[in-house]
Amino acid sequence: MPILEQEQRFFEAGIGELEAYLLSDELFHPLEGHQRLTLGGLLLAQSRLRPQVDNPAGQDWLYRLEMEMDRTRSRWRTAWEAKAGREFRARLDLWRNYLLELRQSPEDLAPSYPQEVRWRVMIELLAHELRLSGPDLEQVESLDCILRTGFRSGAFAWDEALAPSFPLETFWFLYGNLSLIKEVV
């Protein structure tokens, strides 16, 4: 199944389950197949779909789903923020683990950067949903310092068609790749 079709199915199924997900205790809510709904995954799919949906019917479909997502977010704002906060910390842990493991095996793990950087993208998307303060921001900045020790600016890490949804100023970590991660700063 092509990536665009997978993203569309995930986004539509996720919007259909969003209210139930927000009102549940689950952080990773099962969807059809082996997919798991999270707010970060939903926000990532939305961002990745925007530049790829280029026909009027597709744009209308995406607009309707985005409006439904916005209504649900507004109606269940406290639950939305609580889930976003929990997931933010979970994604931060995944990203930290990747960076620390990368320091131990750079030759093995640096090639997987284009896949692993998705955790950092989700962290950024979730941060926009939250009112982050001191410790959370400090953790992101600390991990960004580690990343910068081995980061080389360059080409967009994912399919170039997705770049319009991820501006360089905010998503700088998508515009390049890794050499070697050095000691923690």
Residue 180 has what pLDDT? Answer: 57
Q: What pLDDT sits at residue 103? A: 86
Whether the per-residue pLDDT at 50 is higher than 70: the answer is yes
Which of the pair, 30 or 133, is modelled with greater confidence? 30
In which residue are the tokens 């310092």 written? 145
26 backbone φψ class: left, alpha, beta (φ>0; ψ -120 to 50)? beta
Indicate if the pLDDT at residue 183 is higher than 70.
Answer: no
Residue type, 183: E
Residue 129 has pLDDT above 50, yes or no: yes
Question: In a 10 Å sphere around its CB, with 0-12 CB exposed, 13-18 middle and 19+ buried, how is residue 31 labelled?
Answer: middle
Number of domains in the chain: 1
pLDDT score of 168 more than 50: yes
Contact 138, 93 (CB under 8 A): no
The pTM of the full predicted model, rounded to 2 decimals, is 0.92
**Domain coverage including residue 53:** 1-185
**Is residue 149 pLDDT above 50, yes or no?**
yes
Each residue's pLDDT tens digit, 86-123: 999 999 999 999 999 998 888 899 999 999 999 999 99
Contact call for residues 150 and 180 (beta carbons, < 8 A) = yes
pLDDT bracket for residue 1 (50, 70, 90): very low
Give residue for tokens 């399919």: 159
| Confidence (pLDDT) at 2 | 65
Task: Please give the sequence-ordered ranges of beta strands (E in DSSP) within 61-156, or none if there are none.
Answer: 151-156
